[in-house]
Chain A
């Protein structure tokens, strides 16, 4: 089974990927905009935060700048789509590729170590908590605040207009909603969340690396789909809670798979496990439904 430290570690990364799942919920689900920019905006957030912390900035200011950088990246993708009519998926791939170079430029080298630097976590270590519990506490607070803000936004006039844009753009336009502006705003906010996740990840792991974004989109999707399988996303708040729950379950499943000696899996098998878990998360709800309908049909 999992050790206590491995358990807290899984929850800690789960909470960070919960933020990524929020972003992916916003783009994939609310706006129906398949956005792969996140593979670039996650390391962008990490890079911006790491560089500014090394410059001696206040770590919260550095983290806030990472959010703005993520938003800018998302806005670029959406503008490529809305203003230049490039297919949404392709637009996001273009930005993702471009961000690889941008991230190298931002950092000036492939990675930056943050060991010994003052991060958002530093003051919290003086609390009377075990070392591995501190990030879980702080990130829980961050994700709770993000959840409440996002939920309130989705319930607002602008948020409702954004949901209508994704669900029925023709109707949205007929109601006077500038659908293009909504897409730009939504994809920007989505990538702002991912930039925040990247910044927190770099600070909790003690390093930013240009390759740390690879597969973030798949992990975020795995969290989103897995969460939706556990909690039916019938309302906005349930969908947001599903994102967090899905991300934590996903990280725990990974940690368990890697820790279970009888499975014989090792760290390099991570991406394979991820792909298998995502496939299961997509397929299982369907299998369950067809099983239920088969069983009930037999009875009838």
Chain B
């Protein structure tokens, strides 16, 4: 379970470029929920995710993950509880290291690292098994450099890496946005499968309202650094993009001016 309470963060305080990114954002994600997060550019989606991961520290508010207050902890001290897949397919893996070395890094996420060999024989079966579930033939290429893989393949491996060890929450930051439509569909299907199979708690930021309604168990919309609406269960079933837009206008008395949200 993860609870964010009244998060506030302003970039460039006291400068002409002052930009309040989070303005009292509160959200509780329960065990086993798969929340999709939407919002126009500048709504605070990425900032919220970075705040949860520890890449940016908030000015005020608290973040509690599995009853541990992590508000002040840097990224690497939260990594045992928070797993993450980035938008950029190149960001989640090390291209200079082999596939097995990348997986070996991930299997130790948030744990002490010692002087024993990193790529251990006893890991191999697990690596091969999880890679073969991708149906990309990567289980026979364990020694290949990550840089030899395509963006979609690397994103699929990033997902595996994030789910290799248990976490309180899996953060997905528009992780299909940089891929071509066919690969994006493959990675999204893989995401749903992994989250369902392993009963993970997940938070997925997306730019596409359609995607936000198609997957997950709950949808949250952000606007100007706050949650504007939060739907789940029966209310969410059968909802379409236009319903979502109406809901948004009703809540805020505003119209959505971001074309990408309408077209996505």
Query: A residues engaging B (CB < 8 A)?
Result: 153, 155-161, 163-164, 167-168, 170-179
Contact = CB atoms under 8 A, between A and B. Distances in A.
Interface string B168-199: 00000000000000000000000000000000
Of B111, B113, B118, the most chain A CB neighbours within 10 A belong to B113
B110 A163 contact: no
Contacts of A178: 76
23 contacts: A153-B115, A155-B119, A156-B114, A156-B115, A159-B118, A160-B105, A163-B94, A163-B101, A167-B94, A168-B93, A171-B92, A171-B93, A173-B54, A173-B79, A175-B106, A175-B109, A175-B110, A175-B161, A176-B77, A176-B80, A176-B110, A178-B76, A179-B76
A168 B116 CA distance: 22
Interface of B: 53-55, 74-77, 79-80, 83-84, 86, 91-97, 101, 104-106, 108-111, 113-119, 161
**Contact residues of B: prevailing secondary structure:** loop
B120 to A, nearest CB: 9
A160 B123 CA distance: 15
B76 A173 contact: yes
Contact of A157 (B53, B80, B94, B118): B118
Nearest to A163: B97
Contacts of A163: 94, 96-97, 101
Given A164-B105, A171-B92, A171-B93, A157 B113 contact: yes
Nearest to B104: A160
Nearest to A166: B96
B109 A176 contact: yes
A157 B115 contact: yes
Of B76, B77, B86, the most chain A CB neighbours within 10 A belong to B76
Given A160-B105, A163-B97, A176-B76, 8 more contacts: A155-B119, A156-B114, A157-B108, A160-B113, A167-B96, A172-B76, A175-B110, A176-B79
